[in-house]
Amino acid sequence: MNNYTDEQILAAAKAAHECNRAFCVAIGDNSQLPWEFAEQWQKDSALNGVKGVINGDGPEQSHVTWCNEKYEAGWKFGPIKDAAKKEHPCLVDYDQLPFHQKAKDHVYVAVVKGVLGTFDQEPGI
């Protein structure tokens, strides 16, 4: 199944956002708000990430897409994540990311695939 409904895409985005938020907390980044309190640009970014995974993006391509989205919105590299200044330390090539940031991209893609995969199952399985 490749034609997911808007509700299924939203479910995957919410799940990926919450897993990403939990991962961030685990590495000391408490800047992510729960989905219901997140800024619309964060929700849009999560939805775009899900659509990218549906189209075949893996962790590295997902990061590239995220970076491009940030650059288009006026963000730039900065040593500390600062939404007001539109600066983020992860605006670097994928191979320059620290291990834990690469792992976060892998978790995001895995969560999206896991959630969407539940909709691909035959009824009763």
Would residue 33 count as lying in a domain?
no
Q: How many domains does the chain have?
A: 1
Q: What's the pTM value of the predicted model, to 2 decimals?
A: 0.87
Would residue 108 count as lying in a domain?
yes
Would residue 83 count as lying in a domain?
yes
Query: 73 pLDDT exceeds 50?
Result: yes
Q: What does the block give as tokens for 66?
A: 């995220």
pLDDT by residue (tens digit) across 38-53?
999 999 999 999 999 9
pLDDT by residue (tens digit) across 2-36?
689 999 999 999 999 999 999 999 989 898 999 99
Would residue 87 count as lying in a domain?
yes
Would residue 114 count as lying in a domain?
yes
Would residue 96 count as lying in a domain?
yes
Would residue 46 count as lying in a domain?
no
**Domain carrying residue 75:** 6-28+59-119
* The predicted structure's pLDDT at residue 120: 75
Phi/psi region, residue 32 (left: phi>0; alpha: psi -120 to 50; beta: rest), is: beta
Would residue 22 count as lying in a domain?
yes
Q: For residues 24-35, b (16+ Cβ closer than 10 Å) or e, as one string?
A: beeeeeeebeeb
